[in-house]
Amino acid sequence: MTRIAFIGLGNMGGGMAANQAKAGHQVRAFDLSPDAIQRAVSAGCIAAASVRDAVMDAQVVLTMLPAGQHVRSVYETDILPHVAKGALLVDCSTIDVDSARAVAAMAVAAGLRAADAPVSGGTAAADAGTLAFMAGCEEADFTAVEAALAPMARVIIHAGKAGSGQAAKICNNMVLGISMLGVCEAFALAEKLGLEADRFFEIASKSSGQCWSLTSYSPIPGQVPTAPSNRGYEGGFATGMMLKDLKLAQEAAAKSGATTPMGAQAEAMYALFSGLGYGTKDFSAVLHLMRGQLNELA
C-alpha cells in the first residue's frame, strides 16, 4: 500500500483517484469543490482538508488540474513547502511545456523526484483505469513513476526528460486536431459530389485516407458505433479541450521556432466553432461547420 495525495478530483481526477483507492492504496484526496471530495470519499478515498493536509505524509503526490497556472500555484504555495521528504510528484494535467519544466526544476531543487505525465483518453478511460500516459522524467525515476501510475493506466511510455510528456501530448493532439478537420472536409466534399458517406467511409478506411479520426471517431453517425457522433456529439473530447491543446501547441511552436501552419489553421477552425457556441460538443462535430449546416446541431 502506498500513501497517495490526489489533488484535483474533476472529470478526470475523480475516476483516477477512485482507481488508486480500488488498487488498495491510501488516497488522501483534495479539491476546491466539496462535492468532488465527497464523490472521492464514496469511491474509497479519505477527505483531506487542504492540499497541505493531503501531501504532508504522502509518498506519491498526483495532480490533475486544469492548466499551467493552477499547477504552478499549487506546487509553489501548497505542495513543495509541505510535502514529505522523498516523495514522488507526478503531474498528470495537460499544461504548457515551460510550466512543466519549471515545477519539475523546483521539485528537484527541493530534493524531490518529479514527472509530468499527461494522459490520452477521456473520462471513460479515466474511470476504467485504461489511460495512456506519456511521462517526462529522469530515466532513473521512470520505474517509480510507472508503479505510481499503473492502477490508472493501459500503457505508460517514457517520453524523455522533464517536459517531454507535455511535448508528446501537444504534438499528438495537433495530429489529431488536423486529421479530424481533413476527415470532415473530405466528407463534406464527398456529399457535394454525390458520393454516399457510408461508401466513402468503406473506401477511405481501406485506403491511404485511413486514420484514427476516421475509423475510431467518424463524424458521421452510424459508421463507428462507439463514436460521439452517435450520441449527438456529447461526451467524447470537447472542442474547447482540443482548442486548449492546439493553443498550447501554437505557443510552444512560437517559442521554439517550429513552423506549424496546419496547427495554426486547426486552432483557428476550432476557435471559430467554439466561439459559435459549440465548445462543449465533441470536436468531430466541426463537420457541421464544414457543411455550413450548424442548424443540424442541437
CA distances from 202 to 188, 218, 263 (A): 16, 11, 28
Of the residues 4, 5, 6, 10, which one makes contact with ligand NAD according to CB under 6 A: 10
Binding positions for ligand NAD, 216-275, rule CB under 6 A: 237, 241, 244
Shortest spacing between CB 148 and ligand NAD, in angstroms? 17
117's grid cell: 505525465
Please, where are the H alpha helices in 194-256?
197-204, 212-215, 239-256
Q: Helix, strand or coil for residue 255?
A: helix
Strands 3-7 and 26-30: parallel
Contact window for ligand NAD (CB under 6 A) among 28-36, 40-48, 146-154, 272-280: 28-36
Nearest to 42 by CA among 59, 29, 53, 51: 29
- Dihedral of CA atoms 98, 241, 264, 211 in degrees, nearest 10, equals 110
Nearest-angstrom CA–CA distance, 142 and 147: 9
DSSP secondary structure letter of residue 121:
S
Of the residues 52, 70, 161, 247, which one makes contact with ligand NAD according to CB under 6 A: 70
Contact window for ligand NAD (CB under 6 A) among 1-9, 146-154, 185-193, 225-233: 1-9
Pick 237 or 273: Cβ nearer ligand NAD: 237
Of the residues 13, 44, 136, 163, which one makes contact with ligand NAD according to CB under 6 A: 13
Shortest spacing between CB 66 and ligand NAD, in angstroms? 5
Identify any residues that bridge with 248 across adjacent strands, giving them in sequence order.
none
Pick 7 or 190: Cβ nearer ligand NAD: 7
**Residue 9, interface with ligand NAD (CB under 6 A)?**
yes
Residues marked active site are found at: 169
Of the residues 5, 21, 29, 36, which one makes contact with ligand NAD according to CB under 6 A: 36
Report which residue type is found at 292. G
Residues that bind ligand NAD (CB under 6 A): 7-13, 30-33, 36, 51, 64-66, 70, 74, 93-94, 119, 122-123, 237, 241, 244
